[in-house]
Amino acid sequence: MKTLTLCTAFLILNMTAEAQTKTAFTGQYPYTKKSDQSDDYFGTKVNDPYRWLEDDRSEETKDWVGAENRVTNGYIAQIPFREAIKKRLTELWNYPKFGIPFREGEYMYFYINEGLQNQSLLYRQKPKGGFDVFLDPNKFSKDGTTSLQGIDFTKDGSLAAYQISEGGSDWRKVIVIDTKTGNKVDDTLRDVKFSGLSWLHNDGFYYSSYDKPKGSALSEKTQVHKLYYHKLGTPQSEDKLIFGGDATPRRYIGGSVTEDENYLVITASNATYGNELYIQDLNKRNAPIVPVVTGFDYEQNVVYAQDGMLYIETNQGAPNRKLVVTDARTPTKEHWKDLIPETEFPLTISTCGQKFFAQYIANAVSVVYQYGLDGIKEKTIQLPGLGTAGGFSGKMDETDVYYSYTSYTAPSTIYRYNMKTGVTMVYRSSDVKFNQGDYESRQVFYTSKDGTKIPMILTYKRGMILNGKNPLMLYGYGGFNISLTPSFSISNLVFMENGGIYAVANLRGGGEYGDKWHDAGIKMKKQNVFDDFIGAAEYLIKEKYTSKDYLAISGGSNGGLLIGACMTQRPDLFKVCFPAVGVLDMLRYNKFTAGAGWAYDYGTAEDSKEMFDYLYKYSPVHNVKKQCYPATLITTGDHDDRVVPAHSFKFAASLQDGQACKNPVMISIETKAGHGAGKPTDMLISEQADKWAFLFWNMGLEYRR
């Protein structure tokens, strides 16, 4: 028996025959009809018996959702300690949470949630003055499901435009107000999607959206993004099309005005990777939109502009990214000059006070340096530990910059950093009621199937015994160049204080080691991601952190695909599975909302027979067989218009039909919820209580504080 530190005893009950009987699902799943729907892909007939569940507007689908929820809610309600877990989550969740402050006009703005408020409030404060509530999203709706999803101010701070999401949908409304009085000063814009808002002087702003689908707004394909300019005081129907549409059809388009208000910067792409870059001189009437980079082979964006110079972050010739500078009059690549070169770690640039902050991910933790506009490194930011730093952005005339720091054992703390002296001070600290010293994190490197070394961070309570009987939650994502870096979670704390281990594997497909790491987990290399995750599970069992009887896996969105693929490939390896809002039908994901834009990572079944065969081989919906699957709780939201809930519906129906043992296969469909953003606090707490109750119950363990 191995230990990491001094031994501490936790109540762990072995999975006895009695426990197996107690946790078994002995009821009946709702009836799910099968149709004779099939499709032909390159001569291969593929049955799709649950295609009818894709219709989110039908009464039949609505009835099925209600029936599934009743079964799931009934199963979870009979877990005797579910309410105790919810109570503990509520106790720990109830502490003030602060956002990074930002200056607009004469005010400092910042978000605060006093503890259990469904939505955080936006406050503002004058220099050396008191602060008051500027916007309270809790008043947007009675049940807290309408959320604030971004706000943008004019340069002088006198006007603001903010976006709201209803029920978690990606479709937004835009409301414009006078910041002095709080009064609305314009008509509400509607049907705005995947958009920032960027003001030009005080006259109007740029935004992006799609034409509203003629069918279901929550599932119909959205293909052609458009950049508009809205002039205050005019109807939305008269907004000017700036870029996109029939002339330049692109799936994703963004427009932003540089802080000096001299240039409009346009990014345009057809996938989640690779973009074109354009600029327009705003000082010249009817100035042309000038291409800086065309084609979708690389990523680039203007991060700063001053004195006619453009500073561009790019990965052209630099898979880990670099910063270049060029004259706006000659902006194309042949005129670029390297300013901050590429290093061995992925780079992200932010700006404040005419300084660049180079934020690197070094083996999944943050390292930050301060540079001048001349590209000379000036300072190293001394972070509190091995964790994740964020922020480091502000206006060009600032002297201080604010940033946040968190880790798996440290709640988020806000710091103020003086760019001249290099002095850092705590601005807002957390008040979570737990002893941070009772917990520790450890980074390990394990070997995947093809010999690649994969990093993983484990967090647990000190004194944890390595005897193979620890409940362990393994989390992963592995896609879209997204990096999983350390962050604190109240929910995970509840798990760990009961002897749980929380493990995060930094899989290929993510961005932890730059573009090469990402590209090693896409299209016909996607199996690498699943092998990396399965390798993590096997390592954890081999090293006796846990065993098959105590191993749970969890992931959301692309991570939901990860869980679905791994549990269908290796159902013998896991005890409990949590695929959340997952991409689970890999033959049809590109048929819904913005799914076609994910083809850089996935490829599509229409690309070629070789690509179809590859997708068909791992697509979770299409690889359910008649066998015993782990206890599974699928989660989704009925307003998820990013990864439509039909993915989860079809996977749940397939699993329930294929399940050959008494392990429960449940689906929980949250109403008035989308892909995750903006969920009210009470909904989040209930979801997490269900999750941990389901886990402990199906591992044959008891929850005790």
Contact 602, 586 (CB under 8 A): yes
Contact 339, 380 (CB under 8 A): no
Contact 577, 659 (CB under 8 A): no
Give CA angle at 27 (23, 33), nearest 5°: 130
Distance of CA 241 to the CA centre of its chain: 30
Q: Are strands 337-340 and 322-327 parallel, antiparallel or unpaired?
A: antiparallel
The H or E element spanning position 694 is helix 681-698
Among candidate residues 350, 668, 675, 686, the one labeled active-site is: 675
| CA–CA dist 534, 447 (Å, integer) | 11
Among candidate residues 557, 619, 654, 668, the one labeled active-site is: 557
Buried b / exposed e along 82-105 (16+ C-beta atoms within 10 A): bebbbebbbebbbbebbbbbbbbb
Contact 389, 359 (CB under 8 A): yes
| CA–CA dist 311, 328 (Å, integer) | 9
Contact 8, 461 (CB under 8 A): yes
Q: Which residues contact 496 (CB under 8 A, 6 or more apart)?
A: 439, 459, 460, 461, 502
Q: Which residues contact 504 (CB under 8 A, 6 or more apart)?
A: 408, 456, 457, 474, 475, 476, 484, 486
Q: Torsion angle, CA of 611/612/618/621, rounded to 10 degrees?
A: 150
| CA–CA dist 323, 350 (Å, integer) | 11
- Helix crossing, 82-93 with 681-698: angle to 10°? 140
| CA–CA dist 491, 617 (Å, integer) | 35
* Secondary structure letter of residue 522 according to DSSP: S
| CA–CA dist 572, 554 (Å, integer) | 16
The H or E element spanning position 241 is strand 240-244
Q: φ and ψ at 88, to 5 degrees?
A: -65, -40
| CA–CA dist 26, 659 (Å, integer) | 13
Concerning whether 639 is annotated as a catalytic residue, the answer is no
Distance of CA 689 to the CA centre of its chain: 21
Instruction: Give the tokens for residue 287.
Output: 């100035």
Closest residue by Cα to residue 299 from 326, 274, 277, 263: 274
Concerning whether 487 is annotated as a catalytic residue, the answer is no
Q: Torsion angle, CA of 686/689/690/693, rounded to 10 degrees?
A: -160
How many residues does this entry show for the chain? 705
Alpha helices in 503-645 (DSSP H): 515-519, 527-542, 558-569, 599-602, 609-618
Q: φ and ψ at 405, to 5 degrees?
A: -140, 135
| Dihedral sign, Cα of residue 477, residue 256, residue 207, residue 599 | negative
Q: Which residues contact 542 (CB under 8 A, 6 or more apart)?
A: none
Contact 493, 466 (CB under 8 A): no
Catalytically annotated residues: 557, 675
